[in-house]
C-alpha cells in the first residue's frame, strides 16, 4: 500500500500485552505508506494491568504521538477494573460516531460527530 493517500482507521485491540502509541503507529503503519497525506484514526488497546511493567502515563503516550507527524492527536487512559486498563489514541478532530469507556476521564475536547458514548 505504498501509494495510499488517505487512511481512516478504527481499531479496538484486546489480548495484547503492549500499548499502541505514536511510536507503534509510526513504525508499524506509517513507515509503509510514504504517500499518505491524511490519516484519521482511533486505536484503543485493552491491556491486562498485570502485564504492565510500569504505570501508563498519559503524558508519555502523548509525547510519542509527535512521531506521527504534524496532525493533532491525543490520548485517554482509563482503568476499567482492577485488572484491565484501556489506552486510546486518536486524531483530532475526532471523526467517528462512537467513543467508549471514558470512565471518569472525560477530556476537554469538542466531539462534533459522536452519536454514542459510553461513560
Q: What is the pLDDT along the chain (119 residues), one digit of tens a residue?
A: 678 899 999 999 998 778 888 888 989 988 999 898 889 999 999 988 775 655 677 777 878 888 676 678 888 888 888 888 888 999 988 888 888 767 666 677 777 777 777 76
Quick check: 39 and 73 in contact, CB under 8 A?
A: no
Please name which of 27, 76, 79 lies closest in space to residue 50, comparing C-alpha atoms.
79
What gap in Å lies between CA 112 and CA 95, rounded to an integer? 8
User: Across the chain, which distance is largest between two alpha carbons, in Å?
Assistant: 44
Residue that is written with C-alpha cell 476537554 in the block: 108
Residue that is written with C-alpha cell 470512565 in the block: 103
Domains of the chain, residue spans: 6-117
Amino acid at each position: 500500500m505504498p501509494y495510499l493517500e488517505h487512511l481512516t482507521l478504527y481499531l479496538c485491540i484486546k489480548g495484547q500485552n503492549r500499548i499502541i502509541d505514536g511510536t507503534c503507529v509510526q513504525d508499524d503503519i506509517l513507515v509503509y505508506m510514504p504517500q499518505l497525506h491524511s490519516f484519521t484514526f482511533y486505536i484503543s488497546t485493552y491491556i491486562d494491568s498485570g502485564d504492565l511493567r510500569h504505570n501508563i502515563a498519559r503524558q508519555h503516550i502523548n509525547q510519542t504521538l509527535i512521531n506521527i507527524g504534524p496532525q493533532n492527536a491525543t490520548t485517554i487512559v482509563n482503568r476499567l477494573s482492577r485488572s484491565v486498563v484501556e489506552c486510546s489514541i486518536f486524531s483530532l478532530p475526532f471523526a467517528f460516531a462512537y467513543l467508549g469507556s471514558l470512565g471518569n476521564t472525560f477530556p476537554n475536547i469538542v466531539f462534533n460527530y459522536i452519536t454514542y458514548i459510553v461513560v
